[in-house]
Amino acid sequence: MTSSTSSLFHVAAEVAAAVAAGRPVVALETTLVTHGLPQPEGVRVAAALEDAVRAHGAIPATIGILDGTVRVGITRPELERLAAAAHPVKVNLGNFAAEVAAGGCGSTTVAATMFAAWQAGIRVFATGGIGGVHRGVGDTGDVSADLTALARYPVAVVCAGAKAILDLPRTVEMLEMLGVPVLGMGTAEFPAFYRRESGLRVDRRCDTVADVARVIRTHIHLGFTSGLVVANPVPEADALPKDVHDSALGTALLEAADVSGRDVTPYLLDRMRALTGGASVKANEALLLNNARVAADLAVALAGSSSPCD
């Protein structure tokens, strides 16, 4: 982080000390608090994710924007304040600077969290699912900035694949086009968020966190500057049954025909919650916690050695 950007960031002392000492740190986003989960579940789950990261030996760094300052390691009162905002801004790469300049408050998407984590020296990030290419992209041109961020910032993103509401084949194809490695954590298939399988292949299956860490270190030592996707499927016991998933998703997509832009994803996630009787929220929480645990283990493994050959 340069001196010119540091004035716009507030990195919690615990996080700054851990980064400086090379200890394991995991970035966490805040869009799940304001847009991904209903309240008060959002704040409760965010706290549970931090607890899971700590339990696995890493320091959590939840990221958000308050009063025009990027907070890396947001406190619980700050998180509750963000969650209670009447109209919280969903901050992406495109509106990031404008929100900071206006002294505003907002939650960070995957792309915005990757950027802030990279600026703060954090190289592992846990989220639910990445954004990607939206269905009907030929008519709308709607492609998530998450893909741009993955191509630009060298952060390993532990996720349950991409959100199921997306065009998964085109999303995987674009990741390949952008040169973003997709590593399957114990799987050869790209996960489909609420479902473990999509029928799409990952670039490399890794059966242990040590295997993933070895690939990431080699990626960095070779001089690549992109991020990496660590595709970690939702636990089998928590995955939505295929018939429930397909029926709810089909209905939600039909109902979302007139929704556009940044409203599409939260709308569809809310409809999935209603159409599955809350089962999608339970699956979402389970995969988030699973990703936080794996991300912490990965951060610990990466902190343990700098050699790509270990």
3-state secondary structure of 62: strand
Q: Would you say 37 and 45 are in contact if contact means Cβ atoms under 8 Å apart? A: yes
Task: Tell me the C-alpha distance between 22 and 32, whole Å.
Answer: 28
Alpha carbon 264 to chain centroid distance?
Answer: 17
Residue closest to 61 by CA, chosen among 73, 52, 49: 73
Q: Would you say 241 and 264 are in contact if contact means Cβ atoms under 8 Å apart? A: no
Q: Would you say 80 and 62 are in contact if contact means Cβ atoms under 8 Å apart? A: no
Which residue among the candidates 29, 78, 99, 285 is catalytic per the annotation? Answer: 29
End-to-end CA distance of the chain: 29
Angle (nearest 5°) at CA 158 between 155 and 162: 105
197 given a catalytic annotation? no
Angle (nearest 5°) at CA 26 between 209 and 56: 55
Which residue among the candidates 50, 78, 163, 285 is catalytic per the annotation? Answer: 163
Residue closest to 14 by CA, chosen among 68, 81, 74: 74
163 given a catalytic annotation? yes
**Catalytic residue ranges:** 29, 163
